[in-house]
Amino acid sequence: MSHAPQAPAGLGPAVDLTVIVPVYNEEPNLRALYARLEPTLAAISARYEILFVDDGSRDRSMEIVRALGAENPRVKYVVLSRNFGHQVALSAGLDHARGSAVAIIDADLQDPPELLAEMHAKLRGGFQVVYAQRRSRKDKSLVKKVAYKVFYRLLARLSQIEIPLDTGDFRIMDRKVVDALRAMPEQHKFLRGQVAWVGFDHAAVEYDRDARHAGAPGYTWRKLFLLAVDGITSFSDVPLRLATFAGLIVSFVAFLLIVYALVSYFYNARTPQGWTSLMVSVLFLGGIQLLSIGIIGEYIGRLASDARRRPLYFVKDTNSTPSA
């Protein structure tokens, strides 16, 4: 497969590698990041591009980015109108990236920029996605570490696609994958799941995740919880199906209890007045209600998957030209 860099028409000279850096209040980290990232990229290709996406920072992050841009024309930036969240910032980055390969890295130096050399070499060795998988992490409190572990394993159980464990958004992708991701129109982005969903050939590189260089994490517990909900609802219908399972089980148990109530009505003289009719109607209604909710859930599940409006497939390679 050829990897000749090709710039989209009208967008200036070709770029071999774009590195997207989402930025939310990263003022104390940006110079340090640039000092490590720039030489790494220059060694990979002279035609690199560093694309900062400012996600509504309220500190002086953009002043630093603009200064870097003035020093180095390979530093580009996109400033969002407010804080939209990490995943949306990444989408904006993918939309503006021009590289024939595109990498994503955090601004806080938790992802070592030097690893990009190895990741890029692997990508060019014949993969379309090379993601960095954490061997260890120094960044989180024990509670957060456990929460992450549980979440990744739960998601792996619930979804049909193989989302690699302990992997964030630190990764490098071929242009084909970037175009596939951009063709996914869903509003609730969960990039790690989407990259797994689009397919293509994936490989991992292991690393030890560092602690934050400086500043406070922009991911609060609330944002993490919302991300987890997006991940599960975008890639699993299991929670929707729960009502059907529960409805079937409850109806079955209710049926047994109805039989029991009727039997005791006819054969047990000590059944209190009204107990049987009450039991029968409550159990019957309960079972029917849960089953109906389950049926509605099944339809909503289908609506949800249609509403995502995802493309049906992506082509990795072909020697046939598509009919116009």
| Residue closer to Mg ion, measured from CB, 114 or 201 | 114
Q: Which of 24, 48, 197, 207 binds ligand UDP (CB under 6 A)?
A: 24
Q: How far apart are CA 104 and CA 191, in angstroms?
A: 11
Structure-block tokens of residue 125:
């060795």
22 contacts ligand UDP (rule: CB under 6 A): yes
Does 264 contact ligand UDP by CB under 6 A? no
Smallest distance from ligand UDP to CB 57, Å: 8
The CB-of-60 to Mg ion minimum distance in angstroms stands at 19
To Mg ion, the closest distance from the beta carbon of 195 in angstroms equals 19
Q: Is 16 or 111 the residue whose CB approaches ligand UDP more closely?
A: 111
Stretch of 34-42, 78-86, 235-243, 247-255 lying at the interface with ligand UDP (CB under 6 A): 78-86
Please list the residues that pair with 76 across neighbouring strands: 51
Burial 258-297 (b: 16+ CB within 10 A, else e): beebeeeeeeeeeeeeeebeebbeebeeebeebbeebeeb
Using DSSP's 3-state secondary structure scheme, residue 295 falls into helix
Q: Is 294 in the site for ligand UDP (CB under 6 A)?
A: no
Q: Minimal CB distance to ligand UDP: which residue?
A: 218
Q: Are 52 and 134 in contact (CB under 8 A)?
A: no
- What is the closest distance, in whole angstroms, from the C-beta atom of residue 66 to ligand UDP in the complex? 17
**Under rule CB under 5 A, residue 110 binds Mg ion:** yes
**Minimum CB–partner distance for residue 18 and ligand UDP (Å):** 16
Q: How far apart are CA 118 and CA 203, in angstroms?
A: 12
Where do the H-state alpha helices sit in 30-169? 30-44, 61-71, 86-96, 115-124, 142-158
Total interface residues for ligand UDP by CB under 6 A = 17
216-245: which residues touch ligand UDP (CB under 6 A)? 217-219
* Residue of 16, 54, 108, 230 that binds Mg ion (CB under 5 A): 108
CB 1 within 8 A of CB 32: no
Q: Report which of 107, 90, 3 is spatially closest to residue 47, judged by C-alpha positions.
A: 3
Alpha carbons within 13 A on the beta-carbon side of 197: 23
Residue 174: helix, strand or coil by DSSP?
strand
3 or 135: CB nearest ligand UDP: 135
Minimum distance from CB of 144 to ligand UDP (Å)?
A: 8
CA 147 to chain centre: 16
**Which x/- pattern, by CB under 6 A, does the window 83-122 give for ligand UDP?**
x-xx--x----------------xxx-x------------
Angstrom distances, CA of residue 191 to CA of 25, 54, 166, 241, 292: 21, 18, 14, 24, 34
Told to check if 55 binds Mg ion by CB under 5 A, we report no
Residues that bind ligand UDP (CB under 6 A): 22-24, 26, 55, 83, 85-86, 89, 106-108, 110, 139, 217-219
Residues that bind Mg ion (CB under 5 A): 108, 110
